[in-house]
Amino acid sequence: MSEPQPDQILQVGLGFWASKTLLSAVEIELFTELARHPEDLEALQRRLGLHPRSARDFFDTLVALKFLERREGRYYNTPATDFFLDKRKPSYIGGVLEMANQRLYPFWSRLTIALRTGLPQNETRDGGPDPFAVLYADPARLKQFLKAMTGVSHGANLAIARHFPWNNYRTVADIGTAQGDLITQVALANPHIDGTGFDLPEVASVFEDYVEANGLSDRLKFLPGSFFDQPLPKADVVMMGHILHDWNLDVKRMLVRKAFEALPQGGAFIAYESIIDDDRSTNAFGLLMSLNMLIETTGGFDYTGADCTGWMKEAGFRETRVEHLVGPDSMVIGIK
């Protein structure tokens, strides 16, 4: 038997050091600066307005963490940080890190309180039961949140657009569409598909701008509304990305039922997020996401593939399956 080692304990216990270093680098737009042109220590420190005491350790920490490279005294982005963290590129996914830095990082310092009370620890701490009403009261926060969702979801959205058998279907509705990246990727990869993005009215302009920027305004429409008050738009495929986990079990079941009602016979419902493994022992990201729902919502939680296929069967779906997408994300598919 090997001796127990402390490495993992210390790495995770002090993991916030590395996390906050990356979040601050995104906040001060370090990767965007370096994408313009690589710099040596003094020039980069000056351009970013850093104190001489901090700059060298900060940049070299990012080298050691493999977010920067240093060659002959000059700092460069890595291929990944250049592609994903340069704000001027369409491939930028830093929105989610900006949101994590401004909102989740301080809220997670109250995790122990959430564990003891079961109460959210975000802006809704002193407010009403609907996290989105509070989040969207500030237009800047609304926009930041919706863009952040694109950052979280983009990889899985591409996988759904490419790997689901779209040839069998003509229309799609994306429920809680946010900026609309999922339905956009589906439409870009499948020119025969037309669709509806359904979300709260406040989301309309952010969705419409994104769809227009992708040249899809003639095929993708926005339908404002709340899934609490009305039926879901009818389509051959109904999709929900990161929706079910926001809500308690009763609302989850209601949403699965409404998806069933919106589909024709043979239609498909796709629910996707960081689906937890059925044994609840390996998808740490999915389980942490569920703790994030504890911080962010009044009743939300993430769930296993078996949980979701169970709700689908209850609602009447005749066939269900779980398919892995990318990283911690999977989709649960129900066929009516």
Ligand X SMILES: C[S@@+](CC[C@H](N)C(=O)[O-])C[C@H]1O[C@@H](n2cnc3c(N)ncnc32)[C@H](O)[C@@H]1O
List, by residue number, the catalytic residues.
245
The binding track of 146-185 with respect to ligand X, each residue x by CB under 6 A or -, is ---x--xx----------------------xxx-------
Does residue 209 interact with ligand X by CB under 6 A? no
Q: Which of 33, 39, 86, 199 binds ligand X (CB under 6 A)?
A: 199
* The token pair that represents 33 in the structure block: 């600066």
Which DSSP letter does residue 331 get?
E
Q: Return the C-alpha torsion angle 302, 304, 310, 316, nearest 10.
A: 70
We find the least distance from the C-beta atom of residue 190 to ligand X, in angstroms, to be 18
> Residue 254's Cα: distance from chain center in Å?
23
Does residue 247 interact with ligand X by CB under 6 A? no
We find the least distance from the C-beta atom of residue 152 to ligand X, in angstroms, to be 6
Does residue 226 interact with ligand X by CB under 6 A? yes
Task: Please compute, for residue 21, the number of CA atoms within 13 A of its CA located in the half-sphere on the CB side.
Answer: 20
- From the list 193, 195, 261, the residue with the least C-alpha distance to 227 is 261
Q: Which of 43, 50, 200, 291 binds ligand X (CB under 6 A)?
A: 200
We find the least distance from the C-beta atom of residue 321 to ligand X, in angstroms, to be 20
Does residue 228 interact with ligand X by CB under 6 A? yes
Segment contacting ligand X by CB under 6 A, of 15-23, 24-32, 211-219, 220-228: 220-228
- From the list 48, 53, 55, the residue with the least C-alpha distance to 26 is 48
Does residue 258 interact with ligand X by CB under 6 A? no
Contacts of residue 59, Cβ cutoff 8 Å, sequence gap at least 6: 41, 44, 68, 70, 75
Does residue 262 interact with ligand X by CB under 6 A? no
Does residue 67 interact with ligand X by CB under 6 A? no
DSSP per residue, 170-214: SEEEEET-TT-HHHHHHHHH-TT-EEEEEE-GGGHHHHHHHHHHT
Give me the residues that bind ligand X (CB under 6 A), please: 132, 149, 152-153, 176-178, 199-200, 203, 226-228, 241-243, 246
